Copies of this chain bind each other. A is one copy, B any other.
Amino acid sequence: MKIVISSNTSKPIYEQITVQIKSMIMNGYLQAGDAIPSMRTLAKTLRVSVTTVKKSYEDLQRDGFIETTVGRGSFVSVINKDLVKEEQNKAMEDYIVKFIEIAKLNGESLEDIIDLVKAIYMEV
């Protein structure tokens, strides 16, 4: 399992971990039932604090991607990937619609909006 931590970004480390593990689950690299590294192992590998990894694993568990049992470790949950994708798409469209509605209300042109999108795309 390869995770890359970047410090050039404003995104917190635990979110970088979360996002990359989510990706691996969603694209099938990690399958339901697969073990993922223990918090301590991953923390050592990435040279980050255990607390940071813990926060990421907690978020993943809360969102149903992994299950963590004291003494056993963490495992990929059985999830319906299509359902997750669908929910994400719906959420994404919600966000974009709200964003564009406000932008229009503020009198921003399509060009302004696209510039803004490009700028944010580079940042996040």
- Chain A contact residues, CB within 8 Å of chain B: 19, 22-23, 26-27, 85, 88-89, 91-93, 95-107, 110, 113-114, 116-118, 120-121, 124
Contacts and interface: CB of A to CB of B under 8 A. Distances in A.
Nearest to A19: B105
A75 to B, nearest CB: 15
A88 B100 contact: no
Contacts of A27: 107
Nearest to A122: B110
A45 B23 CA distance: 42
B88 A95 contact: no
Contacts of A23: 105
A86 B7 CA distance: 29
